[in-house]
Amino acid sequence: MTSPLVGFAFIAVCRGEQEGAGPVTTLKDPSAGRTDTPAADHPTIPSETTAPDGDGPIEGFALRAAGQLLGLTVQQPTVGVCVVVVDGELDALTTPLLEACLREQLAASPAHLILDLQPVSFLGSSGLNCLLQAREVAEQTTGTQLHLAGLVTRVVARPLQVTGLLAQFDTHPTLTEALASLAQARISNQQVDLLSVIGRLDDTGLTQLQRELQALLDTGTQNLVLDLARVTRCDHRLFDMLARTHHSLAARQGWMRLVGISPTVRNALDEATPSEVLLVDHASDWTNDLTD
């Protein structure tokens, strides 16, 4: 169904059944921060030592220092799915923060726990051990499936490869692809088509996108997930096309959902009409109408 174009490509349709999704909540670690990558894991600091500022035991000082090196954001994009975004350095100093966060999330026994490691700037042996322990706890006690996302970066992928640990995890290049994979796996009572768009949505790209969308409509598509995470250029004409596609699907009692809305797409919303902005906002909210 797809035809390659210079600077523009499609990852063609995946079909399946989609089950209902639940509410979305987002929590953020207020101590998120980041510094330059260290050469090796920080050594463990003895507990009897006092903080340099004289405020108390080193544990408190170490936690404050770790909080400046590592940020953790917890998200629940859909029912049964928990995402922990890890931003910064994972070494002996900061790993306890991640361990505590994972213990808390695993205690809730989500069906899927995704660690988004793409923002990680350093992954040391302590971080690798933490990932292994989380996998074991998930498998042995909670029944949660652990997934690692963000392996597009060498900082994350290389340590897992050289230690032979890569094969022990379910991995995905990006968080968007991990979520799309879970959405496809959760399919149960509605037929869903997935269309991923990559590159420039200029005149040529928009023409090709229109052809792809029309081909899907002609083959009877009722429910469509459109992945826009890798769109590198677009303008307001995209939203007019999405609105027409949405109305066509709604006329046959179907729906359209958007995933991975890139900054490029969001910036182009400045030129969109209010109704088109509302359409994008609604279509990107997976809590809407997924069980209709």
- Domain borders along the chain are 8-18+186-283, 25-174
Residue 18's pLDDT is what?
40
Residue 98's pLDDT is what?
95
C-beta pairs of 248-253 under 8 Å, 24+ apart in sequence: 248/217, 249/217, 249/221, 249/222, 249/223, 249/224, 252/222, 253/222
The pLDDT tens digits for 66-93 are: 667 899 999 988 778 999 999 999 999 9
Mean pLDDT is lowest, of 69-78, 102-111, 271-280, for: 271-280
Q: For the chain, what percent of residues have pLDDT higher than 90?
A: 39
CA dihedral 174, 175, 177, 180 (to 10 degrees): 180
The reported pTM is 0.49
The pLDDT-based confidence of 60 (bands split at 50, 70, 90) is low
Q: Is the C-alpha dihedral spanning 194, 175, 261, 256 positive or negative?
A: positive
Q: How far, in Å, are 17, 37, 148, 157, 257 from residue 166 at the CA level?
A: 30, 22, 10, 8, 32
Residue 247's pLDDT is what?
92
The pLDDT tens digits for 243-267 are: 999 999 989 888 888 888 888 888 8
| CATH class as words, domain 8-18+186-283 | alpha beta
Residue 216's pLDDT is what?
92
Q: For the chain, what percent of residues have pLDDT higher than 70?
A: 72
Asked whether the beta carbons of 74 and 106 are under 8 A apart, the reply is no
Listed residue (35, 145, 150) closest to 86, CA to CA? 150
Q: What is the mean pLDDT of the chain?
A: 76
**What's the CATH architecture for 25-174?**
2-Layer Sandwich (3.30)
Q: Do domains 8-18+186-283 and 25-174 have the same CATH topology?
A: yes
Q: How many CB atoms lie within 10 A of CB 214?
A: 13
